[in-house]
Amino acid sequence: MHVDPGEFGFVDVAVCAPELRVADVEFNTSKLVEAVGATAAERAAVLVLPELAVTGYTAADLFYQSQLLDEVEGSLAELAAATAESNVCVVVGTPWRVNGRLFNCAAVLHGGRLLGMVPKVFLPTTGEYYEERWFASAQHPVGTTSIDWHGVSAPFGRDLLFRATDQSGLVLAVEICEDLWSPQPQSGEASLAGATLICNPSASVELLGKADYRRALVAQQSARCNAAYAYAASGPGESTTDVVFSGHCMVYEDGHHLAESERFRFETEMVVATIDVDRLVHQRLESSTFSRARPREEYRFVEFSLHGERAESVEVEIDEDHEDSMSGSYGLRRPNPALPFVPSRPETNAEHCREIFRIQSTALAKRLRHVGSPRAVIGVSGGLDSTLALLVVVHAFDLLQRPRSEILAVTMPGFGTTERTKTSAVALAEHLGVELRTISIEASVRQHFEDIGHDPAQHDVTFENAQARERTQILMDLANKEGGLVVGTGDLSELALGWCTFNADHMSMYHVNAGVPKTLVRHLVQWCAAEMFEGEVSRVLLDVCETPISPELLPHAEGEITQRTEETIGPYELHDFFLFHVVRHGCSPRKVLWLAERAFAETYEPATVLRWLRVFYARFFSQQFKRSAMPDGPKVGTVALSPRGDWRMPSDASAATWLAELAALAAE
């Protein structure tokens, strides 16, 4: 697929701690220029460098020396020239004299010119810090809004935002080190005024435990601001008279870690991450808190062309040696997991699964208590969804300290039920200690076919749905008879695709899996097998995970499942990927396709991905009427489809715009 750089809102940002010598401006400038060149080679558009990187943060009383400050002006001119050649937007820390005062500033350079100079507001004077000895604060009016830059006026002030005219939504703001650590960071105001990328040139010293605190601070501020945050701290080349600097550089986006440097390296250390500006803009559109807040300050906007002449169509390729960390218009340097709902880090995997399982079981326990602690009635098929739902019911009863024997599990074999799934359902019920009843639906469904005049040899939607509705009728009537509550088993993916029979498995009295997508259902069952249960129960759970996904509504062939869901509607791993990016981030069909092609490059051909994406959009729109009438159920993640909560959509909304875009993509 041919794309323009930034078409999908992706911008590559570099953070760098260059090799440094304190007060050696010439040496430092050479390293800064090298960093600009390296950034251009990485095809990154923005480079953030440390606080006072031109001179070194620890120059101390040397900041009073005119020789040093005179050399700074020449250094910035050289750096500006480097940006003209590379077309990189550079944010670099430097001292700067204005009206007889010295300010700790960040210069923003691009296209050979100084876009603006942003002075530091909060000057620390605690412990090892003594900035007020040398620098003036920008907390109060500084007497000017511009400075002379080689005969040209350049904006000066803490009220500057830098807006890219050729990258929709990208607005840069600068806050310097302590400005972030203050009770009211400048970035909060700047984000409300439109900033989507916060650049922080910093000189944070290293102390035991401070790196973790620094990460948490950057992560939290990026989340509060719904922004990307690029943080570059001074390296170990700074003076070690009393403290040590490590060159801690990192990029976060809306609370999510994207990239981080290795600390304590004397050589230049750079990392690059791809931020998604479109995603940030979408997050803000959805946030009522963000939309209602207003900045207390007026900001001046400085406009510039981020990409310049580099904004040209290029072919997206995959670098075989660096497939997951590609930059610029050729790819991504950010996570793009094929299974976005499944925990990816082993160290947090068990914790995430445990949390989800607790949410489900606590929600059901609360509902059971509210309606007078009835029995739970659940249909079990030996498939993934009903297995997870049964485990949740068992845990809910354990939480309520009620005997598992009060759980009524019902297996209802029909025309397509195989021995494998039936055996799994029976074994689970027996080993979990719940009451099990087996009620065949074949006779009652045949009678129903006779009543409505349907030929049972005609295996159409009537043949399938009659079985699903008969099972739901049995469960509902048993609940009435036993004083019970029917627990639903269908999952989030089935709700998204409408892969459930209206007023059949679509309906229950409480829907414990409503917030869990299919890929996560399998993962949770595997986790339960490893962590929550043991022995025969664990063995059965693992076998369920290996069983093909099927509603088992069509006759089997010699005991083998013939009806495989994913052969009919497409792979759930693709549909869950589509669901995440469409609902969570509001991505366009073109962007979803582009991301999916990358995530599944080793699994599916692009034409296959496009085929199932068209199925996803068609079904997602046409099946909304089922979601509009879905029962209560707990939300467990950031994507949910409850018509009372996260997803309000007319049942008769048209998919024409989205399908037309996909048709155009197919024609390319």
The residues assigned a catalytic role are 51, 120, 177
Round to whole Å and give the CA distance between 314 and 1: 9
Round to whole Å and give the CA distance between 228 and 197: 5
| Residue 135, H or E segment | none
Round to whole Å and give the CA distance between 222 and 257: 10
Inter-CA distances, 74 with 12, 118, 148, 332, Å: 28, 18, 14, 36
> Residue 365, exposed/middle/buried by CB under 10 A (0-12, 13-18, 19+)?
buried
Q: With the C-alpha atoms ordered 272, 276, 280, 281, is the resulting torsion angle positive or negative?
A: positive
The residues, any chain, with a CB within 8 Å of residue 105's CB and separated by 6 or more, are: 93, 94, 95, 96, 117, 118, 119, 120, 176
Closest CA to 302 of 144, 111, 122: 111
Round to whole Å and give the CA distance between 387 and 547: 12
CA 91 to chain centre: 27
- Contact between 16 and 234 under an 8 Å Cβ cutoff? The reply is no
Inter-CA distances, 282 with 227, 537, 617, 641, Å: 11, 44, 19, 18
Round to whole Å and give the CA distance between 473 and 571: 30
Neighbours of 353 (CB within 10 A): 22
Could you please report the per-residue DSSP string of 539-569? HHHHHHHHSPP----S--BTTB----HHHHH
Sheet with 101-110, side-by-side order of all strands: 113-119, 101-110, 89-98, 46-48, 10-17, 269-276
Q: At which residue do the structure tokens 């949910």 appear?
A: 640
